[in-house]
Amino acid sequence: MWVYDKKLQYPVRVSKCDPMMAKFLLEQYGGADGELAAALRYLNQRYSIPDKVIGLLTDIGTEELVHHSYM
């Protein structure tokens, strides 16, 4: 059984709206160079590559998805 308690390393205090930072975060979440796009590229490429590196691409794609979930 898993007990997952997600805590931030440092406290976060938001005092004002920052549209530029919001634009940056949106690009990192779903933009062309974001973590999700990178993860999907790796996981998609694993289906058209020789058997020896399928596990490597799966591991890299999974790690990219972890980056996306921590943002």
Write out the binding residues. 35, 59, 64, 67
Residue ranges of the annotated binding site for Mn(2+) are 35, 64, 67
If one counts every other C-beta atom within 10 angstroms of the C-beta of residue 42, the result is: 19
Residue ranges of the annotated binding site for Ca(2+) are 59
* C-alpha to C-alpha distance for 2 and 5, rounded to whole angstroms: 10
